A = this chain, B = another copy of it.
């Protein structure tokens, strides 16, 4: 009945799916790209760059924090967000392991 059946999948599969969610919305891709490029790291600046309301950006940041791929450093009255290197590395490994597998042409 519409409930996500996470229990029937492996920890690894669920984690990879969660990491993928960090990239599965263009706003979050844009946020991560900005953080990587150090174009902006303060919430307010991100709001300015993206065309979205502050509440919306804050929610995307919250989701990225939940996944663990970014961390927020409180620097009153601002919060400076940045990539969390260990989780970024985890994502690189996880996607790399799957994507670098050789794809064979023939099927069946």
Contact = CB atoms under 8 A, between A and B. Distances in A.
Interface in A38-76: 38, 41-42, 50-52, 73, 75
Nearest to A56: B5
26 contacts: A5-B51, A5-B52, A8-B52, A9-B27, A9-B29, A10-B26, A13-B33, A16-B23, A16-B26, A17-B25, A17-B26, A20-B23, A20-B24, A20-B29, A24-B24, A29-B98, A36-B98, A41-B107, A73-B108, A80-B107, A82-B107, A83-B107, A88-B99, A92-B99, A92-B100, A95-B99
A14 B36 contact: no
A29 to B, nearest CB: 5
Contacts of A22: 20
Interface size range on A against B: 35 or more
Q: How many chain copies?
A: 2
A82 B21 CA distance: 23
A51 B108 contact: no
A46 to B, nearest CB: 13
